[in-house]
Structure 1
């Protein structure tokens, strides 16, 4: 769709947006509150994309709600943001080596991964367009857990996943057990 307003007129897009909002409620990401004096709420934004199959046919509408984290100020809205990640070259090298050695490679996707971990900084975001509370239209959400777009979100997810893996004494050979553990702890969209 060309805009959120257009998407809100299409039942399929509304369903995709409601599914995203349901994840926020399931994970208790935020609480609706009046904006405290002297605080600023970061705008939220809908990212709307079509998921297509191999033939290019739309199979699903995907709506993701993000905070416009580029408006956050370091030292005020967040402190630490470092989270380790692999560069694409390292991933390609790993996959080439795994293929050469005949290793089985597993991939996983944690649905709404960033929404699982609490953040320590106090932050506020605006109500999403199309999903404003009719009883409290001027209220904002205080963010309790990480939200896509916030600078501290990748670090929060890394902390959550690391804690989970260490708690379960993760060993690479335990792929089947790992899959069961992950599905028990997180809502998985694919493994």
Structure 2
């Protein structure tokens, strides 16, 4: 998944496409179950008059093995239902990346971006996060004047350092740069 996102961000940087992010609220609750699933009444929600009874789930919920799959099937059906077709005369292009409940929209046409966002909002409870700043915990830096998009995992690195109680260790303060002699691009670390 990360490799695909990096490729799409490189395309966005090169062609100066819009990169937008949305979040689906309670994504797994949108999925429909294709089989009967029963559960005990959850603690704190037990009906005192029917304490010994169980519940039949009508929708997918977090924690079910099939929750992720049912959400993905639901999302796929909705997006296919938008009716996007090949536009021979126009040049509108849309990349839509879904990772659990995070959506990355990469487009070259701002009005089309709004159409896609509105279509998604009609189908799901969504939060529009604006221009993409983080995806999968990775910070996105953008310099449109230089057609650059940079990715930083410093938040993840800090989390790992804290987990192993190494966050008080002395840090390497030099910036790391890399330049490929066959390319004009330079990679750098903030």
Q: What TM-score results when the alignment is normalised by the length of structure 2?
A: 0.48
Structure (1 or 2) with the larger CA radius of gyration: 2
Structure number with the bigger relative contact order (C-alpha 8 A, sep ≥ 6) is: 1
Pick the structure with more strand per residue. Answer: 2
Q: What TM-score results when the alignment is normalised by the length of structure 1?
A: 0.48
